[in-house]
Amino acid sequence: MATLIENVGQKTLNHLDYVGGFSIQLWAVLRAMGASLPFVGNPYRWKASVGQMLQIGVSALPMVGLMAMCSGFILAMQGASELRRFGAMHYVIDLVAVGFTREMGPLLTAIAVSGRSGSAFAAEIGTMSVTEEIDALRVMAFEPVEFVLAPKYLAALIMVPCLTIASNVCGILAGGIFMFFTTHLSLGLYLHYVLTSIQLRDVISGLIKSLAFATIIVHVGCLEGFRVHGGPDAVGRSTTSAVVKSTFLVIVADVIFTAIFYYFTGKH
Amino acid sequence: MAIISIRNLVVEYDARRVLDGLNLDIEPGETMVLLGGSGSGKSTLLRQILGLERAHSGSVLVKGIDITRCSQLELRLVRRSIGVAFQSAALFNSLSVKDNVALALREHTALAPSIIDLMVWMNLAAVGLADFGHLHPQELSGGMKKRAAVARALALDPEILVFDEPSAGLDPIVAAELDELILLLKKAFQMTVVVVTHELPSAFRIADRIAMLHNGSFLAVGTKEEIRSNQHPRIRQFLDRVPDKMGKASEVAASFEKYLRGEEANP
């Protein structure tokens, strides 16, 4: 019994330690973000941010687009198989359009970025910790949070919402292609119905979610990297941990945000 | 006045005392070698001198500033006067050797790019890597990486140059070349040099004074001759390369036999 209580206590302390580390890191990076901004910040950090934007955003675009297209088809087909029985095929348009802008677009993008970039952040920073590069930065009078993390966070804050919009477009487009082949609905008319079914707040709520997801992915990935101690095996563990934790936290955050939007607007 | 002054320094990890009340003064312009076996606490002491870890108690004064208690801004200013060549070189793999050396100059000074290029070339030439600046660290040999790390450490013309195990993992010829480089740099730039090592030939070649660490305490601090003639049993054992007491072969064999028969839990 004593061992059980000890274990529960130790696990609780570990989780509190993680939350504390996450909060301290978030505060530190918010203070250091100014250095990464264009024109007013350090030009080398901004250059690093642009490099990160290419890696997080542009390189991920084909994968996110393809995932969104597939999911758009799945959503449309699953919806159509039920709605057809009630003669309500036109509701497939609402399902795809609203489903993607509010939910599927941000979530799919977050999962793709988490698997692609979150793991890369953990591996990069973990390797830097193991090879003493983080210590080298400190003794060269650089702040690792400003040097390594801030450009990644700024890039993610810009690129994850952009990818989310691209994901929404691809998913909705897939729905349009499905509707064209099943009901011969023209793409122009489909887009007209899409624009009447979604509202600006649907898009904005999705983008707010995507900003929260970007924060989770970058901070979990980097925190896992900074916490690496030991050898290359520890880097491998941190990479796996970064993907698992960030995906889990993204879904938890999604529930919380959806609940908030549901209770505040009564529509989500 | 000492450029580095360590007073009653105590470091503990999980209630295990790693450094036990150390006192040491390093004078400007001298080469101090921190000598000791594995686990003696020399790397921990180095990390304290660099302000990379928090001490349990005591103080480390670098240029009169107590880096165990100073602000982050003061610590950053102190660090700009220290150049460090890490054991693993710790070069940034995403940057070329030239950019590794230029990094601190670009970010901490307002020098024109042409001046920075010239300074980078001079630093690389000083360590014999003038023609290798365009390469990335992964394209260099072990000895070249260490020399590139020295060039990077020299970038801001530091008052204190710190080497962590400079000869580790190098063949005797390259290690000797690195020793000569340290001597040459000290003569040319009049720096204070702190070297952590367990390599005896290297230590006795480059040191002005040697501090011998064992179990987190200094056994002796003195000149090369003083250390050589010291009769402390542990220092003699270290210098004469005598292994710790081991069991006799027959006793070890008997112990293993017992273990295999299940009569002993651990041989």
Give yes or no for residue A32 having a pLDDT over 80: yes
Q: Touching check for A204 and chain B: CB below 8 Å?
A: no
Phi-psi region of A185 (alpha: psi -120 to 50; beta: other; left: phi over 0): beta
Cβ distance of A42 and B107 shorter than 8 Å: yes
The pLDDT value recorded for residue B1 is 82
Q: For chain B, what are the domain ranges?
A: 28-55+80-261
Q: What is the pLDDT of residue B83?
A: 94
Residue A55: list chain B partners with CB under 8 A: none
Q: Distance from A124 to chain B by nearest Cα, in Å?
A: 10
Give the one of A44, A136, A141 whose C-beta lies nearest to B90's C-beta: A136
Whether residue A104 has pLDDT greater than 90? yes
Give a yes or no: residue A4 inside a domain.
no
Among candidates A42, A44, A135 on the partner chain, residue whose Cβ is nearest the Cβ of B86: A135
The answer to whether B136 contacts chain A (CB < 8 Å) is no
Task: Measure the CA–CA gap between B31 and B207, rounded to whole angstroms.
Answer: 5
**What is the model's pLDDT at position A258?**
94
The distance of A148 to chain B (nearest Cα, Å) reads 12
- In whole angstroms, what is the distance from residue B228 CA to residue A108 CA? 68
B86 close contact with A: CB closer than 8 A: yes
**A42 close to B (CB below 8 A):** yes
- Selected for mutation to probe chain A from B79, B95, B116 (highest A CB count within 10 Å) is B79
**Shortest CA distance to B129 belongs to which of B121, B117, B118?**
B121
Contact B195, B33 (CB under 8 A): yes
How high is the pLDDT of residue B246? Answer: 61
Q: Is this structure's pTM higher than 0.90?
A: no
The pLDDT assigned to B162 comes to 95
Alpha carbon distances (Å) from A198 to A4, A153, A207, B90: 51, 30, 14, 53
Segment A182-192 shows an average pLDDT of: 93
Contact A141 B106 (CB under 8 A): no
Look at B52 and A131 and tell me if their CB atoms are within 8 Å. no
Q: Across-strand partners of A220?
A: none
Instruction: State how far residue B264 is from chain A, nearest Cα, in angstroms.
Output: 28
Q: Which of B163, B43, B90, B139 is nearest to A127 (CA)?
A: B90
Closest residue in A to B74 (Cα) is A141
Residue A5 lies in a domain: no
How many structural domains does chain A have?
1
Residue-range definition of the domain harbouring residue A227: 44-264
A255 found inside a domain = yes
A14: left (phi over 0), alpha (psi -120 to 50) or beta: alpha
How far away is chain B from the Cα of A131, in angstroms, using its nearest Cα?
6
- pLDDT tens for chain B, 267 residues long, are 899 999 999 999 888 899 999 999 999 999 999 998 888 899 899 999 999 998 999 999 999 999 999 998 999 999 999 999 998 899 999 899 999 999 999 999 999 999 999 999 999 998 889 999 999 999 999 889 999 999 999 999 999 999 998 888 788 888 888 899 899 888 888 899 999 998 898 999 999 999 999 999 999 999 999 999 989 988 898 888 888 766 566 777 777 777 777 766 655
pLDDT at B240: 85
Question: Which residues neighbour B53 within 8 Å (Cβ) at sequence distance 6 or greater?
Answer: B11, B44, B47
Dist CA A77 CA A79 (whole Å): 5
Give a yes or no: residue A24 inside a domain.
Answer: no
Among candidates A136, A141, A142 on the partner chain, residue whose Cβ is nearest the Cβ of B86: A136
pLDDT in tens, A226-267: 999 888 889 999 999 999 999 999 999 999 999 999 888 765
The CATH number of B28-55+80-261 is which of 3.40.50.300, 1.10.760.10, 3.20.20.100, 3.60.20.10? 3.40.50.300
Report the C-alpha gap between B150 and A136 in whole angstroms.
12
Query: Integer distance in angstroms from the first to the last C-alpha of chain B?
Result: 54
pLDDT score, position A259: 94
Window 137-166 of A: residues touching B by CB (8 A cutoff) are: 138-142
Q: Is the pLDDT of residue A115 over 60?
A: yes
Q: Is residue A35 part of a domain?
A: no
